[in-house]
Amino acid sequence: MEFANHVVEFLGEGGEAVTVTMAVGYVEKADSELIETAKQMLVQVVPFDRHEFGSAAPERSEAEIYTFEYQDKGIIRLMPGISLPGLEAVRDEVYRSAKDLWKDAPDKAEAPVGWAVRARNSQGDIEATCTYEEIQLREA
């Protein structure tokens, strides 16, 4: 199995570019899967409703800003600034992200354990968590 540091670059009509670099150790995937993963990552990190970045989308007063934490192979990655409209959306995204991590686990015989993804609100409190064990039970 090959581990790589994949890069997906999106080019705009005016020559602007956005580059998404997957973490080292990301398992080899088809180009279409890498592009889809990069799109999902962009959606998670672009906070359109934050004033310092302008307002490309209508204001959502009920939206909260979350920090997502991803645990994969003992490494914890933080993704701050994710704006979601409510706790149900947070729980759905935590589960979907954990499911993606589980799907990408290179060897299910040595399954990862513990929490996979969790979300903290702007005060730092954990609002939602999904464990690798929950994913295994739901996907079985």
Per-residue pLDDT tens over the stretch 28-79 = 677 777 777 777 766 655 544 444 444 444 444 467 899 999 987 778 889 8
Q: Is 0.95 topped by the overall pTM?
A: no
How far, in Å, are 25, 46, 99 from residue 84 at the CA level?
Answer: 28, 11, 19
Per-residue pLDDT tens over the stretch 15-38 = 777 777 766 555 667 777 777 777
